Amino acid sequence: MEKKSGNGNLRKANKAKNDEFYTQLSDIEKELGHYKQHFKGKTIFCNCDDPEESNFWKYFELNFEYLGIKKLVSTHFEDEKPSYKLEIIGDRNHDGKINKLDIVKTPLKQNGDFRSPECIEILKESDIVITNPPFSLFREYVAQLMEYDKKFITLGNMNAITYKEIFKLIKENKLWSGYGFNLSLVFKSPYENSLEANLKFCEQKGYFGKNYIKTPAISWFTNLEIQKRHEDLILYKSYNETEYPKYDNYDGINVDKVKEIPFDYCGNIGVPITFLGVYNPEQFEILDLSRYLETKGMSQEFVDAYYKSGQTGAISEGHPDLCYYDKNNKPIVPYMRIIIKNKKVNP
């Protein structure tokens, strides 16, 4: 079977250092509908935007009065020339409604990069920053939000969870998953989609044409209070040694599916990273990510058994990844795990 990666679309985007992906209005509505109470009287800044094209801008323009927004600002990015900003402050022409006529366009001296001093000045004046940033700059983007202590709602790749800096923020409860987590979203983009199955998916969603690209593993991230973050994950399985093997090189048990976290285990538990989508800090504590964990390292015995079983991963004695023997005694090196503890179980 053809096993060639279909990552062509993103690779192209990555090479061109130009991740222009326009989020669909329906996807924005689905997420932002959960944050209504946060917008009243606030200055909203979309700092990675093409306001002519952006549905973030459109969403807030359309809902300006309904949400009771104080001010809407958006900056546009140009590669190498001065750009501009758009603002809506209120019913400028006093015609009783907020619409295009109330938009004020002002030239910028710089190119509208979210890191430019000019944009940082606007950032300082803003309350909530909302956009779909270039994923290749996700780290920098979030770092800047933290530096200026801003509230935000942003899109990112689910795997950003595993970036060292981002994981640290998650652990410290300074950033969490929004409602939409691990989604496959269709974006409009300047890049041509050359993948047949991908195009088909877009068409099924009602987006026709080569400039629509389905991108999997997309998540919303925020530091605004949302109800979801306070809802307990309902647990229905009780702990037993067969189904939840202990790691061979670390004091903790392995869980392959988030829903199957045992409700009665008080020690350390390794879960897939999709756990973040249901994380409630009142229910669980996040301790670590397996990538950054100091395990005892794999034993020679485990490594031998692993290769004897026909597996071909690159491991050797002392390898730091988690490992265990499953119920059939097969040596397993699981994918990345978040190490958690159930706060509601007493030792």
Rule CB under 7 A: which residues touch DNA? Answer: 3-11, 13-15, 135-136, 157-160, 162-164, 181-184, 195, 197-198, 204, 214-217, 256-259, 272-274, 277, 291, 314, 316, 320, 334-336
198-225 in b/e burial notation, b at 16+ Cβ within 10 A?
A: bbebbeebebeeeebbbbeebbbbbbbe
Q: Smaller CB distance to DNA: residue 309 or 316?
A: 316
Q: Smaller CB distance to DNA: residue 83 or 189?
A: 189
- Position 169: which residue type? L
Q: Smaller CB distance to DNA: residue 95 or 232?
A: 232
Q: Smaller CB distance to DNA: residue 108 or 286?
A: 286
**Residue 4 beta carbon to DNA: minimum distance, rounded to whole angstroms:** 5
Nearest to 266 by CA among 256, 276, 252, 278: 252
> Which residues 6+ apart lie within 8 Å of 128 measured at CB?
38, 39, 42, 43, 44, 45, 150, 151, 152, 153, 224
Helix (H) or strand (E) holding 118: helix 117-124
- Chain mean position to CA 279: 14
For 212, which DSSP code? E
**Residue 45 beta carbon to DNA: minimum distance, rounded to whole angstroms:** 24
20-46 in b/e burial notation, b at 16+ Cβ within 10 A?
A: bbbbbeebbeebbebbeebbeebbbbb
**Residue 61 beta carbon to DNA: minimum distance, rounded to whole angstroms:** 27
- Chain mean position to CA 4: 26
From residue 231, alpha-carbon distances to 204, 211, 261, 283 in Å are 32, 38, 16, 9
Cβ atoms of 276 and 339 within 8 Å: the answer is: no
**Residue 215 beta carbon to DNA: minimum distance, rounded to whole angstroms:** 6
Q: Smaller CB distance to DNA: residue 111 or 162?
A: 162
**Residue 334 beta carbon to DNA: minimum distance, rounded to whole angstroms:** 6
**Residue 290 beta carbon to DNA: minimum distance, rounded to whole angstroms:** 10
**Residue 166 beta carbon to DNA: minimum distance, rounded to whole angstroms:** 9
- Position 205: which residue type? K
**Residue 321 beta carbon to DNA: minimum distance, rounded to whole angstroms:** 8
Q: Smaller CB distance to DNA: residue 86 or 170?
A: 170
Q: Smaller CB distance to DNA: residue 125 or 304?
A: 304
Rounded CA separation 266/222 (Å) = 29
Q: Smaller CB distance to DNA: residue 67 or 293?
A: 293
> What is the token pair recorded at 196?
């047949």
Q: Coil, strand or helix: which one is 38?
A: helix
Cβ atoms of 145 and 48 within 8 Å: the answer is: no
**Residue 274 beta carbon to DNA: minimum distance, rounded to whole angstroms:** 3
Q: Smaller CB distance to DNA: residue 2 or 121?
A: 2
Rounded CA separation 107/152 (Å) = 25
